[in-house]
Amino acid sequence: MPVRRAIAAVSIMTVVCLVSFVYSYSKGAVKDYYSTGPGEMGPTVLEPGKMTVEVDYQPGYAPHDDALVQFKSRAENYSGRSVELLKTETAIPTMQNVTIENVVSYEKEFRRSPPVDGDRVSIYVIYVGGKFSENSDVLAATYLSLSIVVFKSEIVRYAPQGGMCDDIMIVNECKVERSALVHEFGHVLGLVGLVYASPADHEDPQHPSHCTNESCVMHHSIDVYKGGIPRPPPYAFDRDCLDDLNIIRASSYGKYYLKDQRFDAVVVIIAAAGVSGIAAVVLWDRRRRKASTIPQVLSGPATPP
């Protein structure tokens, strides 16, 4: 009876562990997500599946709707995933200088979609006023592997507000914002040279992780667009960047963070531990039983003849 109870206890513990991990990972738990950097999830984003783009914004700094629609189209085209847009006005505090620590804390508080959930990945985009503390000229930045911050006040500072991305007007808010979003999405995917070595010599040595081609959306000028250019900023990857996406897609880098693969490894470990525990209990029981069947020789005074 004690052995049966021990086996039952080990079995129950194994099942409880498995259920807890299934629940945790079904919620999209990704270990150490907030320590991941731009591009590290690129190979995962480029796998087949679905994508959520969760957009939170401060009151007064809403994204341009047409820029989001155009960005959604580009994201679907480049990733091969179907994209769902979720836009929410959020009570994010206003500040003059925005740090990475600020936006990470906001994301931890307001993000609703897990970074990875089965075959779905979630890109978190946060729109804020103020300037980036590390570079006041930056329009947007990728601060985690699946997270982008857009400094909306800087975009409208250098581009006429309103309009649509298809307007004849050379430069407007929509076109600049669209380019900034696609540019940062390129960093999410790993461009340029973030998680791979490109066979093409197109990474700008003066501006690492950016393309040398001024007609490519990954050119560094998109980061710090100041207007005055007699043409709208580019919003598409050039041939070299498109070829690089195929290299990233075939790469195994970053797939450590895939929830499902790590979950399989954890399940194997827990199952092995549970089976080992049960086997140990059974082996102990057999030895105990064997020992109990060995005849015992009792010592005592010899019987007189």
Q: Is the pLDDT of residue 168 over 60?
A: yes
pLDDT of residue 27: 42
The architecture in CATH of the region 25-257 reads 3-Layer(aba) Sandwich (3.40)
- Rounded to two decimals, the pTM is 0.74
- What is the pLDDT confidence band of residue 167, given thresholds at 50, 70 and 90? confident
| Residue 30 or 76, more confident | 76
In the structure, what pLDDT confidence band is assigned to residue 250 with cuts at 50, 70 and 90?
Answer: confident
pLDDT at 158: 81
The tens digit of pLDDT for each residue in 23-74 reads 444 444 445 789 899 999 999 999 999 999 999 999 999 999 999 999 999 9
H/E stretch holding 18 reads: helix 2-26
- How high does pLDDT run on average in the chain? 82
User: Quick one: residue 30, left, alpha or beta (phi over 0 = left, psi -120 to 50 = alpha)?
Assistant: beta
The whole-number pLDDT of residue 213 equals: 97
Residue 290 has a pLDDT of 67
Evaluate whether 75 touches 83 at the Cβ level (below 8 Å).
Answer: yes
Judge whether residue 227 has pLDDT over 60: no
8 Å CB contact between 73 and 107: no
For residue 258, what pLDDT is reported? 37
Percent of the chain's residues with pLDDT above 70: 70
Please tell me which residue, 168 or 185, carries the higher pLDDT value: 185
What is the band of 15 on the pLDDT scale with cuts at 50, 70, 90? low
Dihedral of the alpha carbons of 237, 138, 107, 77, in degrees to the nearest 10: -10
Whether residue 158 contacts residue 8, with contact meaning beta carbons closer than 8 Å, is answered with no
Which of these ranges, 223-232, 243-252, 262-271, has the smallest mean pLDDT?
A: 262-271
Counting every residue written for the chain, the total comes to: 305
Q: Give the whole-angstrom CA distance, residue 36 versus residue 33.
A: 5
pLDDT tens digit string along 257-301?
433 444 445 555 666 666 666 766 667 667 766 666 655 544 444
Domain regions of the chain by residue span: 25-257
pLDDT in tens, 105-141: 999 999 999 999 999 999 999 999 999 998 888 999 9
**What's the Cα-to-Cα distance from 43 to each of 48, 219, 277, rounded to whole Å?**
10, 22, 38
Distance CA 36, CA 147 (A): 10
Residues 6+ apart with CB under 8 A from 164: 66, 172, 174
In whole angstroms, what is the distance from residue 181 CA to residue 160 CA? 17
